[in-house]
Amino acid sequence: MKVLISVDIEGIAGVFHPEQTRAGNGEYEQARRWMTREANAAALGAFEGGASQVWINDSHGGFRNLVPDLLDARARLVLGKPRTLGMMAGLEGAPELVFMIGYHARAQSRGILAHTINSTAFARVTLDGEEAGEAALYGRLAEERGARVALLTGDDVFGAETLPAFPGARFLCVKTAHGYSSGVTETPAAACDAIQLAARETVEAASSTVRHAQRVSVTDHRCELRVQTTAFADLFCQWPTLERVDAVTLAFDAPSVEHVVRTLNCLSAMSFMLR
């Protein structure tokens, strides 16, 4: 059984402030090690549960945060950008299970460091009429490729909004949100122990159940994006296939979730023109 672990930083135990997520300071250097250790705990647990291969996708910012020499030698790493599948790069290798480690709640929720893809430009993303955060978007991409979202970790707000989208997935809460940058957290060591156990049990349970992964039928999708200012809407609507709904909302149709994700990531990259 092959497992793809996608790891972000905002949902890691002990991470509460934007400075911990940005390269160039001591707080980030410590947080990236906590991120690496949680990813490694998930990998160790997956191997203990019987996984034959584990790929770890660095899914935060520039996708080069993990410290490779702190990871189990059996794992394989997906690092750097640009990449077509973004936070789900590695799906090309046809994993059966996907773990989302250190994920966070969607934009304009009360979760710790909550945002969706680009906190500067994006205020709200809706896919087929349902509000979606990064986990919902990328989880649907995983399902489209025939993989099952099996384990999620992060804060309590993230778990409450995300679990309904993935029936049967397991959620491990490593911290409780009191606001955007405050709350109560497990220690990094305790979080890693819990993640390793959850990963092992998740793979064991999956291995004992006969499942035949099937790709979800690809159908047309409608995505609406509310942006933070009219300037971003002006910029993004230079793309001729995007429709201006109102001053700060645009919409587009796409033939697959992959196309939705790729379009959003391109718009995110465009947004740097206004910074």
131 is in an annotated binding site: no
Type of residue found at 36: T
Which of 115, 178, 212, 221 is catalytic? The answer is 115
| Alpha-carbon gap, residue 154 to 184, rounded angstroms | 12
259 assigned to active site: no
60 is in an annotated binding site: yes
Q: Which residue has the tokens 């955060």?
A: 133
72 is in an annotated binding site: no
212 is in an annotated binding site: no
At how many degrees (to 10) do helices 257-270 and 134-144 cross? Answer: 140
Is there a contact between 267 and 225 (Cβ–Cβ < 8 Å)? Answer: yes
| Alpha-carbon gap, residue 260 to 251, rounded angstroms | 11
| Alpha-carbon gap, residue 192 to 196, rounded angstroms | 6
Q: How many CA atoms lie within 13 A of 236 on its CB side?
A: 31
143 is in an annotated binding site: no
Q: In 3-state terms, what secondary structure has residue 221?
A: strand
| Alpha-carbon gap, residue 37 to 42, rounded angstroms | 9
Residues with catalytic function = 115
- Residue ranges for the known binding site are 8, 10, 60, 104, 134
- Residue ranges for the known binding site for Zn(2+) are 8, 10, 60, 104, 134
